[in-house]
Amino acid sequence: MRVDSDLEDVRKAKSGDASAFEDLIRRHGRDVHAVCRRFTRDEHEAEDLAQEALFRAYRGLAGFREDSSFRTWLFRIVLNVGRTWWSTRRVSEAPPTRVELPSTEAETLEAMRAEIARLPDLQREVLTLRVFGGLEFDEIAELLDTTPGAARVHLSLARKTLAERLEVEP
């Protein structure tokens, strides 16, 4: 069970075992990075942001009261760090408006990045946490202070918008 091993590692890390926290990073780091990537404009920023979030989690581990799963707690930090990053950079680095239909795969993916960035905040965050963070809807609801049903609706809206703008099948 992932939750059990998480708790075991969290407890070890709290007692000073940094390698236990590294195991947690190996387990969740990719999802953290994938979510961070949605708050940033390039790979380097995403790695910086992921490191910041992970390190913040490490420093704040003593404050983790284990009343939620470690994963939910970690992604709360990721969200906070990501939102701050997003709010300080978005104004000066406004995403492109309408993206021309791409021809190569690289362009397609770039267009998709841009379109995700243009989504309304809540839709973008639900999509990010679900698709890139791999979180369950109840975890997303807890993180975004909404209900699992509402989270599903936002994901559906986000997907619909993306499919329309990119002219692909939903």
Partner 1 sequence: MNLDDLLLRLRDSESVSGDRLVAGFRLEVLRDAEAVDPEALVRGFRVDLGLERLKASESRVPTMRRPALRWWRIGVAAAFVLSFATIFVPRPRVTPPVPLARESTVDELWERAKAGDSDAEAALRPAHIRPEDDLELSIRVLARCSPPRAWGRTGADRPELVYRNARAVAPAHARQWLRANWTREDVLEAVAADLDETDARAVARAFATLPSEPAIDVLRRHRRAAAPEIRAAMARDPKPYLGLAEELAWPELTTAVARWLDEDETRFAALAALREIGDDEALREIAARWEKHAEDLYEGMRSFGPKAVGELERLARKGSRSAVECLGAIPGEKSLEALLRLAGTGVAGRPSLEALAKRPEERAFEPVLAASLGRLDRSAAAKLLARVDDDVVIPALIEALQSSRTRDRAHRLLKERTGNDFPARASEWERWWNNS
For partner 1, the binding residues in 5-34 under the rule CB under 8 A are 15-19, 21-22, 25-27, 29-30, 32-34
**Is 65 a residue that touches partner 1 (CB under 8 A)?**
yes
Residues 141 and 90: their CA atoms lie apart, in Å, by: 25
45 touches partner 1 (CB under 8 A):
no
Residue 126 binding partner 1, by CB under 8 A: no
> In angstroms, rounded to a whole number, what is the distance separating the alpha carbons of residues 154 and 35?
17
Judged by CB under 8 A, the stretch of 47-55, 81-89, 135-143, 144-152 that binds partner 1 is 47-55
Question: Contact 14/61 with Cβ under 8 angstroms?
Answer: yes
Is 51 near partner 1 (CB under 8 A)? yes
Q: Is 147 helix (H, G, I), strand (E, B) or coil?
A: coil
CA dist list (Å): 139 to 28, 61, 161: 15, 19, 23
| Residue whose entry in the numeric block shows the structure tokens 């791999």 | 134
CA distances (Å), 49 to each of 42, 44, 169, in order?
11, 8, 32
- By CB under 8 A, name the one of 7, 114, 153, 166 that touches partner 1: 166
- Binding residues for partner 1, rule: CB under 8 A, are 15-19, 21-22, 25-27, 29-30, 32-34, 37, 43, 46-47, 50-51, 54-55, 58-59, 62-63, 65-66, 105, 108-109, 112-113, 131-132, 159, 162-163, 166, 168-170
